[in-house]
Chain A
Amino acid sequence: MALSGRRLRVIVAKPGLDGHDRGAKIIARALRDAGFEVVYTGLHQTPEMIAEAAVQEDADAVGLSILSGAHLTLFPAVIDELRRRGGGDIVVFGGGIIPESDVAPLRAAGVAGIFTPGATTQEIVDWVKTNVRPRGG
């Protein structure tokens, strides 16, 4: 982080209509406590809104949380919208109620990290440290 001269910036977002924000808020806070710059979008975001925020905020990564089962539709939609805005290199990771059989299709769609029930905040912080680099640096 020190090399780039700035802290990594992560957008934590809740796509879709699902209101379960306990996990997203805990992750946002844990990432902030770990020294990242965190922007939390709040609830009920469309993929367009999330991608727009990520590009505007010059984010290095986007963390998505969804517990309503709509991940197969909404995670890839966020990635598409990021690419459309020139943010295809922004690392996307996510978590929620994601059955094992959905993991491979999500990876194929470009979701770099997938966290399922029981994942600790430390695991997620470590993953971000390892897998996210400042963009365009």
Chain B
Amino acid sequence: MANMPTEAHVHHHTAPTGFIRKYIFSLDHKVIGKQYYFLAVFSVFVGMILSWLVRIHLVWPDVHIWGLGAFSPTGAPGGVISPEYYLSLLTIHGTLMVFFVLTTAPQAGFGNYALPIQIGAEDMAFPTLNMLSFWVTFLALCALVSTLFVKDGPPISGWTAYPPLSAVGSAAGPGQGLGQDLWGVSIALFCVGSLLGALNFITTTIDLRCKGMTLMRMPLTCWAWLITAILSLLSFAVLFAACVLLILDRNAGTSFFLPSGLLVNGTLQNHAGGSPLLWQHLFWFFGHPEVYIAIVPGFGVISHVLSVFSRKPILGYKVIVGCLLGIGFLSFTVWGHHMFLSGMSPYSGFLFSIPTLIITIPATIVSLLWLGTVFGGRLRFTTCMMFALGFVSVFVTGGLGGMFLAQPSLDIFLHGTYFVVGHFHMVMGVAAIFGMFAGTYFWFPKMFGRMLNERLGKIHFWITFVGVYCIFMPMHFIGLEGMPRRYSSFVNELMQPLMPVHKFMTIAALITGASQFLFFINLFWSMYKGPKASENPWESTTLEWTVPSPPPFDNFGGKHPVVYHDAYEYGVVQNGKDYVMQTDPPGQPVST
């Protein structure tokens, strides 16, 4: 299969002319990729504002926030955030960020845009499904954002929505009525969109590679998107089922997650026979692969750009592919480490800790190979490269926190504390977002035909890089003190002395967040006013850099690319260049 020419399978559809078919209900993977990207940009903007409100409430609980009182008269009367509105805000912050940012842009955004071009295809395998998957995801976003406008406000059960809190309806607290229903609908729809997208990615990668593009010649980005798609296919199906069961428990009187004898707010609930732990198993069976769905595309992008800007072949291409496959497989065996203290059998807890520690082996190998790639290179410190180096740093830092949390005996202390919050923000949030920034600075010239402003980009990088350490390192420290997360204020005697640390983190978050406006400005300004981009501004080898910026509708202008080289042939001398394009005719390049 790998060496078979596959052009016969490439389907052709003509370029649409009307505005709606061209930009709204488009079948073009490049437009859909951008749609996903901007959906993520919108979501990350809202999610970031919510995180500001959360941080402000923690340290200045009495402050009046201008306009918030008008926005939510019940949640924030007079602009002062109530404790329950704090929980609403963090629920929506988490849901937006995990689903609509970390799961969209790295995979469906950049993947949609770059995967077909990188493997030499004209489009994704199923353009109509592709369009559907975006619009279903868009509906999911609308359902989630609408919770901010319903009377009771958004749910207060966190992004993990543990029942009974999420399953017994409005008796459980404000936002647990319509808000929680909308949350369930939103996530169920999101699952559908992700499943459709995953099918498309897998089929496209298997079937539509151009002549000569063997699996082992694919850029690592394509490997990462393929593996992520397989993870999505297997895990979102389970979350979908869980969401349907949750909606049934809430509205149809079933008891999948609810045991008998629940006395909520003075009322005995008419449920029997279910288990709250069932939700946790289903949720984390999705939830742990989800962590890798968020970060593996980042692994791909970072491996890719480190090679490009080190002017060196990526060190250990095959090893990285093997590690990504290993991480993908193992990610389905570790979900129980979220549940060490859940009441699950302690013997299971011990068993789950073993693959959890083992999965750090491939992750460590990949990190070391990145260092080995940078070693001895001729590093070009573009903004993209800075974010890639930053990625390696924050991923290592966040990942090492995992060594503590993977041990059930240490989790007894750290479970549910700020240590966990610091850990997952660093390793999953910040690292994945650095991957997105690297991807943006890398592919923007191809996507929009113009260059981003490098000076603005560098300022953005420096504030962000130092800022995230200032926000999330101290979270680890206060976690060591035993400070519980999801507390809207700290009445606790142990916690009061830690307020100055919280203030420091809030100020760091405000500054770091503000610096993201530099990025937004750069993005939108450069889209129209940036200097024109050449075909291959980064002197990169892969197929997307053989076509004009931006590429024509069918990507290759009716031609069928043929690949003769690996994806990372840098550091050679050929016709005055130090790299060999994948499509360059075969020949023996002279090594330097």
A and B form one complex: no
